[in-house]
Structure 1
């Protein structure tokens, strides 16, 4: 098993973290052209938003050791991200692994593959995103070839240990902590969500959405030119 060096995480200000924790991922998705993870990965345990730093595992074989060992490195607030390298048959995450994460205080789990023990996972309540479920699981096989902390591909998106991962019942996205203009992006998305509070009131009072968002003015300009 290959252990990549744990990266020195670029500092993210407490203000940005606080903003990210308040936001719906879709509020950022309005502005992003990359980092949107395929909706093949679904919120199997949802109901609340998830945001944290990724810790990655690349697990190409049905060997349980890499996932069990990575828990020794997880910290509160981390999100465990597992690339099963196309294996959508053998589950690599279940009740005991998620309970281990609960004891540490992890923020969630993202598996490009399948998991098991869904009733127990939902009882525990930590967000879990995966492609589906199965009853067959990984085993202690001690097969070489797994990697910890290196880049992985999750739902078509490359994720590195230390990246920001966000998710809710609508889906998942990943952002580099060095994303250009991250502070401005978060502030804009927060402003949008505040504006929507007023829009809800105005829509309920009969105003047209096309007037509120400017679509009507653009449409009329187009048909008169």
Structure 2
């Protein structure tokens, strides 16, 4: 996991995902946005942090397997460090892989959010808690009889996007982008510059400058 001294999550939290996607396009990183179906529970949810990766699979165990399955899931939750974002590739379309108690635990640990290529339940409670949670679907069905964590801390792929431990994950109402750790600082600096330029464009357009004039003056629109 990356060093906590670099302050990347706090700085990336100020940047909207569209700006990050534009900068990564310029760098030739054009497949860094997770599938559009992964959306926040509410429009005001935002997250930015270091990826803590986990994978799972459908698992139809016996009632005797319940304790083992649940303990494995709880160990995964306990392994997530502060300033991270859980990125879970569930490999499943039936169960809920997150819930309100998990969100409460993460909040107490200063974990910055959860991105689930799968589902949550207790969605209304998580929304009231205001814990940033991005999911593909919602369902009341418990995961324990249907699904099991496979591993965590390993690279994974969601919708063709590779996510590795320590990558930067940023999410807002538009979706979720993944910034590879090796280019995170360069992307951040370019994004901060782009946001400053777009603020000047915005002010100019409000004063009556045409879009083409703004582009010709600032090189951005």
Give the alignment's TM-score, normalised by structure 2: 0.82
Q: Which structure's CA Rg is the greater one? A: 1
Unaligned runs of 5+ in 2: 25-29, 60-68
Q: Does 1:188 align with 2:190?
A: yes
Select 1:155's aligned residue among 141, 153, 159: 159
**Which residue matches 2:127?**
122
Distance 1:175 1:201, change over 3 A: closer
Provide the aligned length of Structure 1 versus Structure 2: 204
Q: Aligned-pair distance for 1:52? A: 0.6
Q: Does 1:75 align with 2:67?
A: no
Select 2:34's aligned residue among 32, 37, 62: 37
Q: Aligned-pair distance for 1:102? A: 1.2
CA–CA separation in structure 2 for the residues paired with 1:69 and 1:168 = 28
The structure that is helix-richer by fraction is: 2
CA–CA separation in structure 1 for the residues paired with 2:55 and 2:9 = 27
**Which residue matches 1:28?**
20
Q: Aligned-pair distance for 1:111? A: 0.5
**Which residue matches 2:114?**
109
**Which residue matches 2:96?**
91
Give the alignment's TM-score, normalised by structure 1: 0.81
Unaligned runs of 5+ in 1: 1-8, 218-225
Cα RMSD for the two superposed structures: 2.4
